[in-house]
Each structure stands twice: as structure tokens, then as C-alpha cells.
Amino acid sequence: MTFFRQWLKNPLRTAALLPSSAELAAAMIAAMPDGVRRVIELGGGTGAITAALLDAGIDADDLLVLELNEELHAHLRARFPRVRAVLGDARSLERLADEAGYLAGGRADAIVSGLGLLSMPPPLQQEILEAALACLRDDGVLVQFTYGPIAPVADAVAEALGLTVERGDFVLRNVPPATVYVYRHAGAPGQ
């Protein structure tokens, strides 16, 4: 209900009616390469993916969760007191991650994102992704899900940032159904 209330208050800022399903969280984690240890989550919501990351063995000290909505942020902090849950805009991720002490341990191996990138104009997508890439290792991955029928990052933005994209799993058992995409720097391992 917390998530649904936030959608009612601002449907353009909250991309979905319901939190991500366990199946979508599992597909996001499966899209990450073996050996991923440090993770940043963009758009933590109610913590469905956060919980799956912790269950998959990501240590709370190696996880940073960013949430823009104050009520959802408070929910995340209460639900996961050991996780760095940061309130703020993804365009400020590098500064926020640094202020939270996360970057002192190095850049992230992976970023998982539930942000509604597909509905954002390309300049905003680019600002968010530039901030995310500043916190990601050169050989790291950005795992993004979307509800739309096409890749969530505009082709021009992906090209400008030197990213390649790979379509991952389609998760029918999510409301609405979602597709996982994996973005990497061109020439990074896994290409």
C-alpha cells in the first residue's frame, strides 16, 4: 500500500503501480556477472530488489540504495537499517554516494535500476546515466528493467556514453510484465 499511495500522489515520478515482483528481482540479479560484490540500486521503492540483493549474498556494507521519494526512503531505512539508503536525485548520485562513504570502498561492480528511464527525455536519461557511470567500474554493468517494448535508454544516449545493450529476460510474472536490459561500456568484458 505504501508504494501504491506514492503512485497515486505522483504517477509520473513513481513508475509503477506495484513493487517489483520476486521474479523480476531474480531476473535482475541473474543478469549481473558472477563475482559482483558492490552494488548500487537506483529507485529502491519498497525494497523488493534490495531484499533480493541481500538474499543473494550482497553484504549490506557493499550496497547503496538511492530513493527520491521521502516516504519510500523512510520505509527503506526502517526495513533495512544496515543498508546505506540515501535520499536524493539520481543525477546527484556521485556526490550522494561519496557523502554516504560508499565510494571510499571503491566504485560499484553493478548498478541495478528501477527508474522509469523510458518515460524520461533523453537529456535527463543522459544526466542520470553519467552520474551512475561515474560510480561504476569500467568493466561494471548497469542492469535496468522497463515495462515498455523497447530498450529504456535512447539509442543516442547509449551511443554518446559509449554503451552497448543486451536484452535480458522478459518477466511475465510481474505487474506489469517487464524486460531486463544490461548496459556495458563498449569493449568491456562480456561484450
- pLDDT tens by residue, 61-86: 999 999 999 999 999 999 999 999 99
Residues 6+ apart with CB under 8 A from 131: 90, 91, 92, 93, 94
Which set of grid coordinates corresponds to residue 50? 534490495
Provide the percentage of residues in the chain whose pLDDT is more than 90: 80
Which residue is it, cell 523512510?
74
Quick check: 17 pLDDT over 70? no
Task: Report the number of secondary-structure helices (H) and strands (E) in the chain.
Answer: 7, 7
Which set of grid coordinates corresponds to residue 71? 516516504
Which set of grid coordinates corresponds to residue 63? 550496497
Which residue is it, cell 506514492?
6
In this prediction, residues 18-45 reach a mean pLDDT of 92
Among the listed residues 114, 15, 105, 118, the one whose alpha carbon sits nearest the alpha carbon of residue 60? 105
Query: What integer pLDDT is reported at residue 191 of this predicted model?
Result: 55
Is 35 buried (19+), middle (13-18) or exposed (0-12) by CB count in 10 A? Answer: exposed
> Class of 2-185 per CATH?
alpha beta
- pLDDT tens by residue, 157-186: 999 999 999 999 999 988 889 999 999 998
Which set of grid coordinates corresponds to residue 31? 543478469
- pLDDT tens by residue, 125-148: 999 999 999 999 999 999 999 988
Spans of all domains in the chain = 2-185
pTM of the prediction? 0.89
